[in-house]
Amino acid sequence: MVWITLGVVVVLVGALIVFNRLVQFRNRAAGSWADIDVQLKRRHDLVGSLVEAVKGYAQHERQVLEKVAAARSSAEGAHTQGRRGAAGTAESR
């Protein structure tokens, strides 16, 4: 009878330990998914600021391209008209 009682106690303690471990694993998994959700939200928030930065840089690139096109057009016009002094000035821009 003592052995049966001792066996039952050992089984109950083992079951309690296993249950406690399962609860720990469940809580760890829930915490990990919460961390993933936080990182995804942060990522989505950063996409908007990245788009704004790219828009600003695209504006800068457009202005530079317009200036380069105007300088090239000016140099090309000076060369076709045969004005050597104006061509030199246009090429130095």
| Domain that includes residue 78, residue range | 2-91
pLDDT, residue 80, reads: 67
Average pLDDT, consecutive stretches of 10 residues, N- to C-terminus, the chain (93 residues): 89 94 97 96 90 89 88 74 65 62
Give the model's pLDDT for residue 35.
96
Report the pLDDT value the prediction gives residue 24, as an integer from 0 to 100.
97
Number of domains in the chain: 1
CA-based R_g, the chain, Å: 37
Amino acid at 89: T
How high is the pLDDT of residue 1?
84
Q: What's phi and psi for 92, nearest 5 deg? A: -85, -5
Model pLDDT, residue 39 = 95
What angle is formed at CA 20 by the lines to CA 15 and CA 29, rounded to 5 degrees? Answer: 130
